[in-house]
Amino acid sequence: MRYACPRINMAAIPDRVVLLCWMTFFVYWIVSSLRTKAIRERQSLWSALAHRLPVGLGYWLLAFPKWPPPMNVMIVPHADWFRFTGAAFCTGGLFVTIWARRTLAGNWSSDVTFKEGHELIRTGPYQFVRHPIYTGLLIMSLGAAADIGQLHSWLSIPVTAFGFWIKLKQEERLMLKHFPEAYPAYQKQVKALVPFVL
């Protein structure tokens, strides 16, 4: 008796890769958040909302699957090659976020905080950009948008980037306060999000 080899649905692979990347990101973030340093200084609730609201809106635009016209209009080719490229970007972005998170170690926080024994990290991806976690997340969002292809997914990128820009400015004010000599030099040598550009 012969057994038929199950056919692989190639069209579904990019969707699954993108979903797996985001699930891996969230699980890793939850687990790694259990091992951080004690907080010495924290931003206010209103300051946190200033970046959390646009970032949350950006992710909602990206993840919510059912949108009415014109938000569901396809604005990029929905060809397999384009979607596989998006899945590759998402995977690369995940690598950047995890590399940055591991390098930051106990200094990391989801809020804008200064930790006990806080260090100015300049190794790993922090030698290329000052905020590589945000860079990685934006690359992941770009990959997901390429896979989805609809207007709402592409709109999510500038909205999320706006929220990250607010947050990184808040973080940098705090770092300038606590590292008044080292951080300005770091800012001059390393770009915020895109190596050599921005």
Note down pLDDT in tens along the chain; length 198 residues.
455 555 667 778 899 999 999 999 999 999 988 888 888 999 999 999 999 999 999 999 999 988 999 999 999 888 899 999 999 999 999 999 999 999 999 999 888 999 999 999 999 999 999 999 999 999 999 999 999 999 999 999 999 999 999 999 999 999 999 999 999 999 999 999 999 998
Peptide bond into 69 cis (omega under 30): no
Q: Distance between CA atoms of 164 and 52, rounded to whole angstroms? A: 9
- Chain-centre distance of CA 20, in angstroms? 15
pTM of the predicted structure, to 2 decimals: 0.92
Give the CA radius of gyration of the chain. 19
Q: Which domains does the chain have, with CATH numbers?
A: 39-189 (1.20.120.1630)
The sign one gets for the Cα dihedral 41, 42, 44, 47 is positive
Among 78, 131, 71, residue whose Cα is nearest residue 139 = 131
Helix (H, G, I), strand (E, B) or coil at 39: strand
- Chain-centre distance of CA 42, in angstroms? 21
